[in-house]
A and B are shown apart, each in its own frame.
Chain A
Amino acid sequence: DAKTTQPNSMESNEEEPVHLPCNHSTISGTDYIHWYRQLPSQGPEYVIHGLTSNVNNRMASLAIAEDRKSSTLILHRATLRDAAVYYCIPTEGGIQGAQKLVFGQGTRLTINP
């Protein structure tokens, strides 16, 4: 499994963009990059995933480096509700990949009013 490196914590201000980095230098060519977040006292919540191209959805954008050794989750306009622990998880796609989601310690994001 690819190892990931994420900052332990980050801080940002409300209504400003947030860029959450993740290094996954040992990622294999077929691994997808998944992002989940966990709000306080709740279960994790799926955010976004991608393989090679940048991806956008209603929650966030995912920018993947050309060599795929790193990626950045972008919250375009942070709200207080975005305060959570964010997990970056490279894993295979499909059935096998979903079974191998390994949640590391993630990045704890604090949003200041």
Chain B
Amino acid sequence: EVHLVDSGGGLVQPGGSLRLSCEASGFTFTDAYMSWVRQAPGKGLEWIGRIKSESDGGTTDYAAPVKGRFTISRDDSKNTLYLQMNSLKTEDTAVYYCATAPGYWGQGTLVTVSS
């Protein structure tokens, strides 16, 4: 059974940084393309980025609102996915989920950007 556990959320001031983690189990993490999806309060789901498996190059792709500010990485030795978020804005306030196709989700971690 696919199991994803998100962590690292919290309150941060505008312009600050935060790193989220996602621990994976129940599937072959090294073969998986992993994504991050967020959900602002009362809103729908927004894909923000993905990382390919290392065997497929480990390259990343990002949605326009976060490109240049957010970085996705992975540590296959720890079965863990990361999201480094820099230059945070108030509009980045959301629950952040890690996910893998076709749609297995972590439980989410809340990031609040506020002064």
Q: Is B a genuine binding partner of A? A: no
Residues of A within 8 A of B (CB): none
List residues of chain B with CB under 8 Å of any chain A CB.
none
